[in-house]
Amino acid sequence: MTRTVLYPGPRAGLRWREGRFWRIEARPDGSVTEHDHRGRSRTVAKPGEIARVVLVPAARTGRRATNLLPIGDVFALFGDADRLLRAVSVESIGLGYRREFAPEMLIRDRSGIADIALALGLALEPATDTEIAAVRGRRRHITDGPLSDRLRRLRALHVVLLPLLCAAWALSLAADQPGPTTPWKAATLLVATASALALSLTEATAAITFARRPPIPAPSNATMVPSVAALTDPTAKAWAKTGVLYISPDDVVLDEHGTEMWLPGPSRGGVVTCLITTDALHFVDRRSTRLLSLPVQMWTLGHDDHHALSAACEKAGIEVVTSNDYGDLPERVLALYIDESASPMLEQGIYAWTLPSISDHGSPLIVTPIFTGLIGMLIAAEGLLGVLPADDPAKSTALEVVALVGGLITVGAFTVFVYIRQAMNRALGRGEGRLGEKT
Amino acid sequence: VSQKNVEFGAVDRWFPLDLELGPDETAKLLTEQFRPRRRSKVFRAFVELVASMPAQILQLESDGVTMVQAWTLLGGDGSELDPIAVAWACTVPHPAGCTPGEFVDVLLPDVSPEGDLRLYQPMDLQPLDTPLGQAHRLRARFASDTPHGLVVREAIRIFWLFPGEEVALVFQVPPLDDLPLAADVAGALTELAEHTRPV
């Protein structure tokens, strides 16, 4: 069947909920529903409401409409009279391929946006000038995923707030005498402090949620296929030995190395073939696009000994094909692109490809929020010194409270930080290893 | 109509492929013409792919259809070897006095409302003024059912019917299932037609 659900693919670090739950689904009645990272659903378009399904090329997306980052091609749903219903960056639903490694055409193929247009009875069209203007016209509405957007905004707020808070603190210290005791100053201090603390807490909560990531809720009809790396390769890394595939008609899920990758299964028009070659295992869709490639020795005991995997695939309705030669190129007559991403994936597993790095805005990095929170507290203390008269008995009590809360924030933040590091190491299967260490 | 009395102009993103050259000669020409800015493994794969095209295109000759020229369309500004499509010019025989509408049936004989291959949307047939005379551009999206669901592809042709002749000149690309790419290719192929002139 034609693809009916768009998946984000792998999401690292704090964004794991997005990979597991965020979906855009074309229903049989012609409506479109979006499931967010909390599993809540909302109707994007009612039956018959979608008039056009378009692609805005990367060169014309414009930075204003994104989160100020260049994000490549954009997939957009329009109602009548050029009414924009939803705009999504294609890379964010490209099942993990990044523009640095793969051509836009390949990412587009992997995303399934052309198929979802067919499922809606339409066709994916290039956007007209009016439609491009509609997509470019509104600020920050092209989504990378609900949680990715939120985390990026949060990080941006920290970056803006931190120097502002530092400046406010430095200015108040530099003043010869305590500032005037005006309600205006008190209110400013309160707002600055409260927002800094709120940001710190939000980020810490997100980090804790990540560290407490619950196991994948395997559907009852899914078959679990554990990695056999421990048997086939005694020197295999710990994470390679603990990898698991869940295969069901709805989803094919890879849980490996602290990262989840969800792919649409055959009932959603995703994976239809499992191709076992001499060196690789490919989950392939109906257009012969390889959605996931894995090293074959991690999942089968040998090229001719793949009973567990084949049984799981066949039960889910995925055809198993073994081949002694698949070559480097996707199997298409006159196929005109090269799948550049597959080889690094095969060499290093999903690890190098999706590991949360410092630059990944989904990584649980809470150093910035700690500083924002602490400086917020310092401003509060400094402000209280200025606002309250010198002989006010409430002053010392207030300062004690500020000092106590500040101390708790510091201790709490560092505790969370250590906890996250340990949780990350556990998730990455490194045992005694340290975060950031090359395996 | 033949290669002798038509001149195909140079257009930036279209890299001409000589149908008389073998794969090794084409590969040599490509490595001389382009520098590998992408990873060299990818560049070599692209060279091999493009060099194999002339032979694949010549295999499509049949029933009086004669290949005249081929091109590959390059992505970006055309300065790198980044092939995104392939096109060819061929001569196609037709009954005398054939109208553009009738010639479409010659070009797409398998498309029928009830058949396995049916039109997905109404055909788009537009006249086009070129130095070689009036041409027509056809864009037709047709659907077919596969065991794994519906597939929609776009066929793009630009053709010239010459009065008193029974052979037409046709520019053609393979059916494309990537419709935004098809729109790009249709524009580029139109540009190529607008640079085609009589000798």
Give DSSP secondary structure letters for A278-298.
Answer: SSEEEEEETTS-EEEEEEGGG
- What is the mean pLDDT of the segment spanning A41-47? 95
**pLDDT tops 70 at residue A86:** yes
CA atoms of B130 and A292, how far apart (whole Å): 47
H or E element at residue A42: strand A41-45
- What is the mean pLDDT of the segment spanning B155-171? 94
- Predicted pLDDT at A339: 43
**pLDDT tops 50 at residue A37:** yes
H or E element at residue B67: strand B66-74
- What is the mean pLDDT of the segment spanning B40-44? 75
Contact B74, B42 (CB under 8 A): no
**pLDDT tops 80 at residue A236:** no
- Predicted pLDDT at A243: 83
Closest partner residue to A338 (CB to CB) among B42, B53, B148 is B42
- Predicted pLDDT at B108: 87
Contact B186, B6 (CB under 8 A): no
- Predicted pLDDT at A215: 79
C-beta contacts of A354-358 below 8 A and 24+ residues apart: A354/A10, A354/A11, A354/A12, A354/A96, A354/A259, A354/A261, A355/A12, A355/A257, A355/A259, A356/A12, A356/A13, A356/A424
User: Could you tell me how many residues make up chain B?
Assistant: 199
**pLDDT tops 90 at residue A317:** yes
Who has greater pLDDT, A98 or B146?
B146
Who has greater pLDDT, A401 or A434?
A401
Residue of chain A whose Cα is closest to the Cα of B52 = A334
- Predicted pLDDT at A328: 41
When pLDDT is cut at 50, 70 and 90, the band that residue A279 belongs to is confident
- What is the mean pLDDT of the segment spanning A399-406? 76
Structure tokens, B106: 């010659």
Structure tokens, B156: 């793009």
Of the candidates A138, A14, A145, the residue with the CA atom closest to the CA atom of residue A71: A145
- Predicted pLDDT at A338: 37
When pLDDT is cut at 50, 70 and 90, the band that residue A334 belongs to is very low
- Predicted pLDDT at A61: 75
Who has greater pLDDT, A162 or A429?
A162
Return the top range by mean pLDDT from A22-36, A176-190, B69-83: A22-36
Mean pLDDT of chain A: 76
- What is the mean pLDDT of the segment spanning A158-176? 69
* pTM of the predicted model as reported, rounded to 2 decimal places: 0.82
Who has greater pLDDT, A176 or B50?
B50
Chain A residues touching residue B179 (CB < 8 angstroms): 114, 123-126
Could you tell me where the beta strands, DSSP code E, fall in A160-243? 223-226
Who has greater pLDDT, A221 or A409?
A221
**pLDDT tops 50 at residue A116:** yes
Residues in chain B whose beta carbon is closer than 8 A to a beta carbon of chain A?
38-39, 41-42, 45-46, 49, 53, 56, 75, 82-86, 120-121, 141, 146, 148-152, 174, 177-181, 183-184
Report the DSSP beta bridge partners of residue A56.
Answer: A74
**pLDDT tops 50 at residue A216:** yes
Q: Look up residue B83 and give its amino acid.
A: P
- Predicted pLDDT at B128: 95
Report the DSSP beta bridge partners of residue B86.
Answer: B72
- Predicted pLDDT at B65: 92
Structure tokens, A197: 């603390």
Structure tokens, A83: 């009414």
CB atoms closer than 10 angstroms to residue A49: 17
Who has greater pLDDT, A316 or B5?
A316
- What is the mean pLDDT of the segment spanning B169-177? 93
Report the DSSP beta bridge partners of residue A246.
Answer: A224, A253
Report the DSSP beta bridge partners of residue B117.
Answer: B144
Q: DSSP alpha helices (H): ranges in A219-292?
A: 229-232, 238-242
CA atoms of A120 and B118, how far apart (whole Å): 18
CA B170 to chain centre: 8
- What is the mean pLDDT of the segment spanning A171-182? 56
- What is the mean pLDDT of the segment spanning A207-228? 80
Distance of CA A170 to CAs A192, A214, A380, A383, B172, Å? 14, 44, 13, 12, 70
ipTM beyond cut 0.90: no
State chain B's maximal CA–CA distance in angstroms: 53
Who has greater pLDDT, A360 or B21?
B21
Who has greater pLDDT, A166 or A126?
A126
- What is the mean pLDDT of the segment spanning A16-40? 93
Identify the residue among A2, A131, A289, A338 best suited for mutation to test binding to B, counting B beta carbons within 10 A and taking the highest: A338
**pLDDT tops 80 at residue A187:** no
State percent of chain A over pLDDT 70: 70
Burial of B107 (0-12, 13-18, 19+ CB in 10 A): middle
Chain A residues touching residue B53 (CB < 8 angstroms): 334
How far away is chain B from the Cα of A74, in angstroms, using its nearest Cα?
A: 12
The separation between the first and the last C-alpha atoms of chain B, rounded to the nearest angstrom, is 11
Residues in chain A whose beta carbon is closer than 8 A to a beta carbon of chain B?
1-2, 55, 57, 103, 105, 108-109, 114-115, 118, 123-126, 269, 272, 286-287, 328-329, 333-334, 336-338, 340, 343
- What is the mean pLDDT of the segment spanning A188-217? 72
Contact B109, B100 (CB under 8 A): no
Q: DSSP alpha helices (H): ranges in chain B?
A: 23-33, 40-58, 100-107, 179-194
Distance of CA A214 to CAs A164, A208, A211, Å? 38, 12, 9
Contact B160, B194 (CB under 8 A): no
When pLDDT is cut at 50, 70 and 90, the band that residue A327 belongs to is very low
- Predicted pLDDT at A346: 46
